[in-house]
Structure 1
Amino acid sequence: MEYTQLGRTGLKVSRIVLGTMNFGGQTDEPDSHRIMDAALDAGVNFFDTADIYGTAEEKGLTEKVIGAWFARGGGRRDKVVLATKVYGNMSADGKAWHEQSWPNHDRLTALHIRRAAEASLRRLGTDRIDVYQFHHIDRATPFEEIWQAVDVLIRQGKILYAASSNFPGYKIAQANELAANRGMVGLVSEQCLYNLAERRAEADVIPAAREYGLGVIPWSPLHQGLLGGALRKERENTGSRTKVGRSAAGLADPAVRAKVQAYEDLLDKHGLEPGEVALAWLLTRPGVTGPIVGPRTTEQFTSALRAVELKLDPEVLAGLDEIFPGPGPAPEAFAW
């Protein structure tokens, strides 16, 4: 396994991040534990989760599954850089995070941050969260309040680093400028939607992250299966992920479908697997720490690991850029 530092910190993390969103839901606890064991065996030390991950009936179940794995001992907890998230509504009324629910059970108020961190620690069965990520921006709560809550948690030893997810560039700048005014480290990483088919982050989010020394952690690196051999799986009637969400919407669009066909044809020509190439491409991108892979099975995880060793030659990289061109640097791409 290759390692890199997380942004401007001295923290060393693997270049593949184990995403646990499926654990406890699509993947039962025994299989989830086997995947986490396989991750450690492969040298993957960066695990990502969120307090709301689980099932509709039990938000927080994923953290409990991870906590049960830590409890098995063998140095598991100390080998892992553990990242979880705060923002979503964790009240027991069953509503989704974005729906109206009981007040003060979501967002980034000092009250919710403190309460959510304590709850995550209990579910995870640990004394600390290594990287505590804001799952979304909170337009109603000032960063002065957010950083006050984070400062308390850091001083208590309950979290070590703060980070963001789904932030626009201007919020990354605002957050870190206000943190610097308080003498704090500020955000150390940004987790954003970024892949070959969705490169808008290159225009704003990634430049801001690099300017402020944040590691970039792409989520949905296969664009919900679209970049994982979607057309081949469609022909073979395999791959349930290609039938829902962004992948299904993409394949229903003739223009997107043509790009995916060109992508798969290019990789067939070079004898490469689409999912592995999509991950390997992200590892070539400036500022990227490592993509999040969210396997449902050990076999899917093993396939993702091969991307770390895969070196794409210039002809393949040029072909990928031709099929999926990025937005270009800002502001030149739209101003000059």
Structure 2
Amino acid sequence: MEYTHLGRSGLQVSRLCLGTMNFGQETDEVDSHAIMDAALDYGINYFDTANVYGDRGGTEKILGNWFATGGERRERTVLATKVYSDMGDWPNDCRLSALNIRRALDASLKRLKTDYIDIYQFHHIDRQTPWDEIWQAMETAVAQGKILYVGSSNFAGWHIATAQAEAHRRNFTGLVSEQSLYNLLTRDIELEVIPAVEASGLGLIPWSPLSGGLLGGVLGRQHKGKRRVEDRLTKALAAHRDAIEQYEKLAADLGHEPGEIGLAWLLHQPAVTAPIIGPRTGDQLDAAVRALDVRLDAEALSRLDEIFPGRKTAPEHYAW
């Protein structure tokens, strides 16, 4: 396994991040524990979850039960979870108020059966709460030893810049990572988020690296009769069928599965720290790990850019 620093921090994480959103929904607890054990065996030390996953806390409980089995599972894991989403029916059960951050953090710690979280992440920007309040709450959590680092998810470039400026004004470290939707088909963050991430020294953690399965060899499986295209992919496949056909042909020419190419492309992007993989089975985990050995030369990268055109840095993408 390859490791790298998470942004400008001293924290070292694996080049793949194990996403746990399927645990408790698509994958039962026994199989979820087996996948996490296999991930550690592969050397994946970076696990991502959120308080809302698994019907408001179910996924965190699965991780907590896994940590409780011992074997230094918690000590070997860089644990990231998130706060923001609605966790109840009362007004202060969501977003980034100091009250909700305090309550949500304590609830996550209890479900996860741990006394600290390595990376506590804002799941979304909160436009109604001032940064002074948010950063004060995070400073308190750090001082209490409940969290070590702070990350963001689904932030725009200017949100990252503002968050960092406000943190620096308080002599606080601020953000060390940003999770964004990023894959060959969805490259909008190349306009402003990636420049902001690079300028601020944040690690970039792409989610949905295979566009919900669209870049995972959907046509090949369809042709082989191994599965029917899921309803949620039908419309997207119709809109991108020509590009997907070219992509799967290129993968075959390169001697790799399409999913391996999609992950490998992200690993070749300088700003990317670790794509989030979300295996539902052990076989899917094995397939994702194989992407670490895929090397794409300049010709292959250029061909992928032809199939899936990217974005130039703003404002040059749309102005001079």
TM-score for the superposition, normalised by structure 2: 0.98
Shift of 1:177: 0.3
Looking at structure 1, the residues matched to 227 and 109 of structure 2 have their Cα atoms a distance apart, in angstroms, of 35
Match of 2:162 in 1: 174
Asked if 1:213 is matched to 2:213, the reply is no
Q: Residues of 2 paired with 1:312 and 1:78: CA distance?
A: 34
CA distance in 2, matches of 1:209, 1:143: 18
**Distance in structure 2 (CA, Å) of the matches to 1:270 and 1:117:** 46
CA shift, 1:237, in A, is 4.0
CA distance in structure 2 between the aligned counterparts of 1:192 and 1:169, rounded to whole angstroms: 11
Question: How far off its partner does 1:267 sit?
Answer: 1.4
SS of the aligned residue for 2:159 comes to helix
Q: Which residue pairs with 1:49 in the alignment? A: 49
Which runs of structure 1 show a deviation greater than 3 angstroms over 4 or more consecutive aligned residues?
Answer: 236-240
Q: Please show how residues 66-215 of structure 1 align to structure 2 within 5 Å.
A: 66-91=63-88, 101-215=89-203
Cα drift, residue 249 of structure 1? 2.6
Q: How does 1:2-21 map to 2 (within 5 A)?
A: 2-21=2-21
Structure 2 equivalent of residue 62 of structure 1: 59
What secondary structure is seen at the aligned counterpart in 2 of 1:132? strand
How far the C-alpha of 1:312 sits from its partner, in A, is: 1.1
Partners of 1:51 and 1:133 in 2: how far apart?
Answer: 10
Offset at residue 270 of structure 1 (A): 2.0
Specify the alignment match of 1:260 in structure 2.
Answer: 244
Three-state SS of the structure 2 residue aligned to 1:252 is: helix
Distance in 2 of aligned mates of 1:292 and 1:239: 24
Distance 2:8 2:164 in 1: 13
1:34 aligns with 34
Which of 226, 230, 250 does residue 243 from structure 1 map onto? 230
Deviations 1:67-91 (A, max 9, x none): 0000010111010000000001111
Change over 3 Å in CA distance of 1:29–1:316 after alignment to 2: same
* Alignment match of 1:289 (pick from 273, 284, 288): 273
1:262-301 Cα distance to aligned partner (Å, 9 max, x none): 1111111222210011000000102100100000001100
- State the shift of 1:239 in Å: 4.7
Q: Given the two structures, how large is their TM-score scaled by the length of structure 1?
A: 0.93
Instruction: Measure, in 2, the Cα distance between the counterparts of 1:18 and 1:283.
Output: 15
Alpha-carbon RMSD: 1.1
d(CA) in 2 for partners of 1:25 and 1:104? 26
- Distance between the aligned counterparts of 2:231 and 2:8, measured in 1? 37
Classify the secondary structure of the residue corresponding to 2:50: coil
- Residue 51 and residue 168 in structure 1: after superposition, are their counterparts in 2 closer, same or farther (change >3 A)? same
Q: Which amino acid aligns with 1:71?
A: A
- 1:96 alignment partner in structure 2: none
**SS at the partner of 2:54?**
coil
Aligned length in residues: 320
For structure 1, the residue ranges without an aligned partner over 5 or more in a row are 92-100
Structure 2 stretches lacking a partner, 5+ long: none
Letter in 1 for 2:194: I
TM-fit CA distance, 1:313: 1.9
- The superposition leaves residues 115-171 of structure 1 with CA deviations (integer Å, 9 ceiling, x where unpaired) of 000000000000001000000011100111100100110000000001100000000
Deviation at 1:309, TM superposition (A): 1.4
